[in-house]
A = this chain, B = another copy of it.
């Protein structure tokens, strides 16, 4: 029989990360051929076990838990949200963000990749936020009238939006603004509307 070689599997995932580490390399410019060569592995071996290049990248990405965005449950929801969002945004502002946006790009052309992205990456994060919002409703920090899933999307989606479109920066201010608006509260340090407008315009 000769079962799947764990050595090969790891070489492939390692090689993928090594290649993606190069500032110039994108998921698109990365080729299966290059991965095979870097891993010292035949192309066939990759094609045998992964349905597409993007699948390898997602696997490699997850294998090394490249994104660390804890959600604390021992602090008030507002604070937990703040910690989580700031952490997420700061990571998305860098190389991991590029990777996520490129995987998302690949997933536009391949339903299998899209499903894999959701299952292996997206769902966990999404439900974590939904649960957090639900805790906020339970604790009274958030209005009981909001749909936790919709509110979660309204908090989370803008981060992806800026990541993908780049019309405005991914920074701490953004995290604070999102939370303040979501909780129906102006950001602490900038209460007035006109002040906020000026900030937004800068």
Q: A-side interface residues toward B, CB under 8 Å? A: 26, 28-29, 101-102, 104-109, 114, 117-118, 122-123, 126, 137, 143-151, 153-158, 160-162, 164-168, 177-178, 181-187, 190-191, 193-194, 196-202
3 tightest A-B CB contacts, nearest first:
A145-B186, A157-B161, A105-B105
Least Cβ–Cβ distance between A40 and chain B, in angstroms: 15
Instruction: Say yes or no: A160-B154 contact (C-beta < 8 A), given A104-B105, A197-B147.
Output: no
Find out whether the CB atom of B193 lies under 8 angstroms from the CB atom of A143. Answer: yes
A181 touches B151 (CB 8 A): yes
Alpha-carbon separation in the docked complex, A181 to B143 (Å): 10
Given contacts A107-B165, A149-B200, 16 further A-B contacts (CB under 8 A): A105-B105, A108-B164, A114-B166, A117-B165, A144-B193, A146-B181, A147-B196, A147-B200, A153-B162, A153-B168, A154-B157, A156-B161, A157-B161, A160-B160, A160-B165, A186-B202
CB atoms of A164 and B200 under 8 A apart: no
Q: Which of B151, B153, B181 contacts A150 (CB 8 A)?
A: B181
Q: In the complex, which residue of chain B has the Cβ closest to the Cβ of A200?
A: B149
Query: Which of B144, B154, B194, B198 touches A158 (beta carbons < 8 Å)?
Result: B154
Copy number of this protein in the oligomer? 4
Q: How far is the CB of A195 from chain B (nearest CB, A)?
A: 10
Least CB distance from A187 to B in Å reads: 8
Q: Which of A181, A184, A202 has most chain B Cβ within 10 Å?
A: A184
A130–B102 Cα gap in the complex (Å)? 28
- Closest-by-CB residue of B relative to A147 is B196
| A162 smallest CB distance to B (angstroms) | 8
